C-alpha cells in the first residue's frame, strides 16, 4: 500500500500557528497590555436579518411533510441560480442560471477543480498567493510556475509570454495583497489564456468589495467565455464563512481537449458532492434579494470604512501599500527595510497590534505585511492610532 507521495512535497505552513504562538507568549508575559488583532481573515459581523429569516423559514419547511426536501440538485436549486444570474446582470455581466453550480464555498471548488484536469498540465499562480491553489496542485503532482506580483507591477502579476501555461489561477481583488486587476490587465490574461489553450481559474471571492471600475467578474472581459471558470463565495460578501455557500460559473461553450468543461465538472460533482442544504440555499437567495443587498451592503461598508481608516494612516506615514480600496486587505511594505517577521515582532511589542507576515503567502511576500479590515471599528481606530504614533516617530 502506498500513500499519495505528492503530499511529501507540501511545504509545512505554520504561518497562523506561529502567529498564535508569538501572540500568546506576548500576552502571557504582558497580561496588562491590550493586544489588537488586525490579522484575521474571518468576518466578525453577524448575518443580515433577511438572511437569518430565510434560513429559519427554509428549516421550518423541512419540518413539514408537504414542503420537506431530500437531496438537493447537484448544481443547486433553480431559485438560487436564477438569483445569482440576476446578480450578475445587475453589474452588466451575462451568466445563464444553467452555467452556475452552487457549492459549499470557494475553497472546495478552487481546490477540487483540478480533478478534471490532467496532472501533466503546467499551473501558473501569482505570488503572493492564497495557499489553497498551490497545495491542491502539489497534492495532484502538477508543475507550478510562479508569476511574481511585486511593487513594480503594483502586485498585479502579468502573463509571461515565454511560459506555456495550461492552468492559471487569478484572484482579484487579491488575497493577500488587496490589489484588483483593471479591465486592460484582465484582457491581457484572457488573450494569453486563449492563445495558449489554457484555462483561467478566476477567484472572485472578494468582488463585492470593488468600489471603482475594476471588473467584478472575469466574464466582463471579451473572450473570457472560451477560457475561464469563475469561483465566487458568500463568505466575505455576506458573512457566510460559517454558513457555507458559494458558486462556480462555467460557460457552456468552454471546451478543452475535445471535452465540454461544464459537463466534466457536473460529472465530478455528481460523483463526489451531494449539494448544499436547502435552508442554506434559501439564505443565499435572500442575499440577492433587493433587501438582502441593502443589508449586506451595510456590513460591507463597515469593513470598507475600517480599510479606509487603515489606508489613510499609511498614506499619512508615507508607507507603500496595495489594497484597502477594493478589498478588505491592506498589504504594506514593512517600514525601514524590516523583514515580515521582524515587523510582526516590532508591531506586537511596541504597539500591541497583530498582523500577518507577508512571507507566509510566498517568496514575493518577503518584507510585506497584511492587515485586515474585518475587526471591530473601535479596535481598528485604536490600532491605527498606535501604529501612527509608533511609525510616525521612527
Three-class secondary structure of residue 153 per DSSP: coil
Q: Given CA atoms 324, 380, 370, 234 in this order, what sign does their dihedral have?
A: negative
Smallest gap from residue 184 Cβ to ligand PLP (A): 22
Q: Which of 235, 237, 248, 281 binds ligand PLP (CB under 6 A)?
A: 235
C-alpha span between 333 and 318 (Å, rounded): 10
For the packed helices 15-29 and 340-351, what is the interaxial angle rounded to 10 degrees? Answer: 30
- 163 grid coordinates: 511560459
Q: Please, what is the minimum distance in Å from the beta carbon of residue 255 to ligand PLP? A: 26
Nearer of residues 196 and 217 to ligand PLP, judged by Cβ = 217
Cell of 2: 502506498
* CA 109 to each of CA 49, 205, 219, 254, 378: distance values in angstroms, whole numbers, following the listed order: 28, 12, 18, 17, 36
**Nearest distance in Å: CB 362, ligand PLP:** 13
Q: Is 106 in the site for ligand PLP (CB under 6 A)?
A: yes
**Could you say whether residue 233 binds ligand PLP (CB under 6 A)?**
yes
Q: Quick one: 41 or 339, whose CB is closer to ligand PLP?
A: 41
Are the beta carbons of 196 and 165 closer than 8 angstroms?
Answer: yes
Q: How far is the CB of 361 from ligand PLP (least distance, A)?
A: 10
Q: Give the residue with the Cβ less far from ligand PLP, 75 or 207.
A: 207
Closest CA to 175 of 328, 2, 366: 328
Asked whether position 203 contacts ligand PLP by CB under 6 A, the answer is yes
380 contributes a contact to ligand PLP by CB under 6 A:
no
Cα–Cα distance, 23 to 2 (Å, whole number): 39
**Angle formed at CA 218 by CA 215 and CA 223, multiple of 5 degrees:** 115
**Of the candidates 87, 88, 117, 130, which one interacts with ligand PLP according to CB under 6 A?**
130
From the list 106-114, 186-194, 278-286, 358-366, the region that binds ligand PLP by CB under 6 A is 106-114
Residue number, 85 or 243, with CB nearest to ligand PLP? 243
Name the CA dihedral angle for 258, 263, 269, 271, rounded to a multiple of 10 degrees: -70
Site mask for ligand PLP (CB under 6 A), range 155-194, x = bound: ----------------x---x-------------------
- Residue 138 or 387 having the CB closest to ligand PLP: 138
Place of cell 411533510: 65
Q: Which is nearer to ligand PLP, 110 or 277 (CB)?
A: 110
Nearer residue to ligand PLP within complex by CB, 156 or 351:
156
DSSP calls for 166-182: SEEEEESS-TTT-----
- The closest of 146, 138, 137, 144 to 117, measured between CA atoms, is 137
Which residues in 244-303 contact ligand PLP (CB under 6 A)?
Answer: 246
CA-based Rg of the chain, rounded to a whole angstrom? 21
Number of residues that bind ligand PLP (CB under 6 A): 14
Helix (H) or strand (E) holding 62: helix 49-62
Please give the backbone phi and psi of residue 257, each rounded to the nearest 5 degrees, phi first: 55, 35
- The residue at minimum Cβ distance from ligand PLP is 105
Q: Counting contacts by CB under 6 A, is residue 107 touching ligand PLP?
A: yes
Q: Which stretch binds ligand PLP (CB under 6 A): 74-82, 105-113, 288-296, 368-376?
A: 105-113
User: Given the complex with ligand PLP, which of 112 and 350 has the nearer CB atom?
Assistant: 112
| Residues near ligand PLP, by CB under 6 A | 41, 105-107, 110, 130, 171, 175, 203, 205, 233, 235, 241, 246
Amino acid at each position: 500500500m502506498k500513500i499519495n507521495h505528492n503530499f511529501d512535497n507540501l511545504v509545512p505552513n505554520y504561518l497562523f500557528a506561529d502567529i498564535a504562538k508569538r501572540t500568546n507568549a506576548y500576552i502571557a508575559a504582558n497580561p496588562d497590555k491590550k493586544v489588537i488583532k488586525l490579522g484575521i481573515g474571518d468576518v466578525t459581523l453577524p448575518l443580515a436579518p433577511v438572511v437569518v429569516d430565510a434560513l429559519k423559514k427554509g428549516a421550518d419547511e423541512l419540518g413539514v411533510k408537504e414542503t420537506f426536501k431530500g437531496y438537493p440538485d447537484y448544481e443547486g436549486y433553480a431559485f438560487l441560480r436564477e438569483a445569482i444570474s440576476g446578480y450578475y446582470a445587475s453589474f452588466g455581466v451575462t451568466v445563464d442560471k444553467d452555467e452556475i453550480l452552487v457549492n459549499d464555498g470557494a475553497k472546495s471548488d478552487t481546490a477540487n477543480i483540478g480533478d478534471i484536469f490532467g496532472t501533466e498540465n503546467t499551473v501558473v499562480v501569482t505570488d503572493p498567493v492564497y495557499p489553497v491553489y498551490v497545495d491542491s496542485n502539489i497534492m495532484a503532482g502538477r508543475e507550478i510556475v510562479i508569476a511574481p506580483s511585486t511593487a513594480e507591477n503594483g502586485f498585479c502579476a502579468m502573463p509571461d509570454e515565454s511560459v506555456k501555461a495550461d492552468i492559471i489561477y487569478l484572484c482579484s481583488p487579491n488575497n493577500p495583497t488587496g490589489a484588483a486587476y483593471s479591465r486592460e490587465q484582465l484582457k491581457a490574461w484572457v488573450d494569453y489564456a486563449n492563445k495558449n489553450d489554457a484555462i483561467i481559474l478566476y477567484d472572485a471571492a472578494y468582488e463585492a468589495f470593488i468600489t471603482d471600475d475594476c471588473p467584478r467578474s472575469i466574464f466582463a472581459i471579451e473572450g473570457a467565455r472560451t477560457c475561464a471558470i469563475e469561483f465566487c463565495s458568500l463568505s466575505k460578501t455576506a458573512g457566510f464563512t460559517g454558513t457555507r455557500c458559494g458558486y462556480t460559473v462555467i460557460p457552456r461553450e468552454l471546451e478543452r481537449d475535445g471535452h465540454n468543461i461544464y459537463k466534466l465538472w457536473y460529472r465530478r460533482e455528481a460523483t463526489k458532492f451531494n449539494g448544499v442544504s436547502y435552508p442554506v440555499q434559501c439564505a443565499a437567495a435572500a442575499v440577492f434579494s433587493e433587501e438582502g443587498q441593502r443589508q449586506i451592503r451595510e456590513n460591507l461598508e463597515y469593513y470598507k470604512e475600517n480599510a479606509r481608516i487603515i489606508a489613510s494612516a499609511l498614506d499619512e506615514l508615507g508607507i507603500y501599500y496595495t489594497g484597502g480600496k477594493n478589498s478588505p486587505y491592506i498589504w504594506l511594505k514593512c517600514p525601514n527595510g524590516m523583514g515580515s517577521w521582524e515587523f510582526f515582532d516590532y508591531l506586537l511589542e511596541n504597539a500591541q497590534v497583530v498582523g500577518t507576515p507577508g512571507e507566509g503567502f510566498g517568496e514575493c511576500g518577503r518584507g510585506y505585511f497584511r492587515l485586515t479590515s474585518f475587526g471591530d471599528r473601535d479596535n481598528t481606530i485604536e490600532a491605527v492610532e498606535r501604529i501612527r504614533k509608533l511609525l510616525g516617530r521612527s
